[in-house]
């Protein structure tokens, strides 16, 4: 059943033209389409997605004071759970994979979620448009690790993105990162240390083995555990 979004809820709007250096080559690496969508999913993509899509044509504005961003939400399990349990929080999800978008749209429709907005393309086109100090949390969960040495430049975490995260977060805001790839965990820590604008939430690396207190398991984590890989959960606080 198609549930309409609340017409009284102010949409999230985006603007373009700021910090284009964040997108040096404008290339996106990764899948944008998988198996054929079901009739219901296709209908939601056609009817519901335009109503919850982030509008890049106008300056951004939020209806909520507390706004979170999840970059690469996959199948939307974590984002939908957080939106359901934090109805007063606005949550923006960035994901170009249409099958994952369709799954999140089903969750939005079934749960009547009015606090979710979707950016259905490369997150690098969204991040520069978000105003300074406007987010309370940023999630980057199980990003593509790009294992090969020559492909590591494609990793989402780099000096520029960490700088952008720091810019977007409010003082005391959280950047939460999860991965089952130890090399990517160490990679992320190195960029955080080099930036110098974050404190660690946790007393020691052993704390990183414990899921976040409000964690909702994703399909990627389930796969990692089945295959014997230990995930890490890192939280960094903006100074």
CA–CA separation, 65 and 181 (whole Å) = 34
Annotated catalytic residue, options 19, 66, 122, 144: 144
DSSP 139-208: EEES-----SGGGGGG-S-SHHHHHHHHHHEEEEEEEEEEES-HHHHHHHHHHHHHH--EEESSSSGGGG
Task: Tell me the HSE value of 115 on the side-chain side, using a 13 A CA sphere.
Answer: 20
How far apart CA 137 and CA 186 sit, in angstroms, is 21
Q: For residues 119 and 56, give the distance between their C-alpha atoms in angstroms, rounded to a whole number.
A: 9
Q: Which two tokens stand for residue 33?
A: 């389409």
Q: β-strand 198-200 against 169-179: which pairing, if any?
A: unpaired
- 19 included as an active-site residue: no
> Is residue 137 a contact partner of residue 80, using CB atoms and an 8 Å limit?
no
How far is residue 135's CA from residue 131's CA, in Å, rounded to a whole number?
9
Q: Report residue 122 as tokens.
A: 């490369």
DSSP-based three-state secondary structure for 107: helix
Q: Could you list the active site residues?
A: 144
């Amino acid at each position: 059943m198609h549930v309409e979004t609340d017409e009284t809820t102010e949409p999230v709007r985006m603007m373009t033209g700021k910090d284009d250096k964040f997108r040096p080559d404008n290339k996106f690496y990764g899948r944008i389409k998988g198996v054929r969508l079901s009739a219901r999913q296709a209908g939601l993509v056609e009817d519901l997605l335009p109503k919850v899509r982030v509008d890049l044509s106008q300056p951004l504005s939020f209806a909520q004071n507390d706004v979170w961003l999840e970059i690469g939400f996959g199948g939307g399990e974590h984002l939908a759970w957080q939106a359901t349990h934090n109805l007063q929080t606005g949550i923006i999800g960035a994901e170009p994979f249409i099958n994952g978008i369709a799954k999140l749209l089903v969750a939005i429709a079934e749960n009547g979620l009015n606090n979710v907005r979707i950016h259905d393309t490369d997150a690098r086109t969204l991040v520069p448009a978000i105003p300074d100090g406007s987010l309370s949390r940023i999630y980057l969960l199980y990003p593509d690790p790009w294992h090969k040495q020559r492909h590591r430049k494609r990793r989402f975490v780099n000096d520029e993105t960490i700088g952008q995260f720091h810019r977007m977060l409010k003082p005391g805001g959280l950047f939460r990162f999860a991965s089952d790839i130890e090399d990517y965990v160490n990679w992320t820590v190195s960029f955080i240390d080099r930036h110098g604008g974050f404190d660690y939430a946790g007393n020691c690396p052993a704390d990183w083995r414990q899921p976040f207190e409000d964690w909702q398991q994703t399909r990627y984590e389930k796969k990692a555990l089945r295959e014997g890989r230990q995930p890490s959960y890192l939280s960094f606080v903006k100074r």
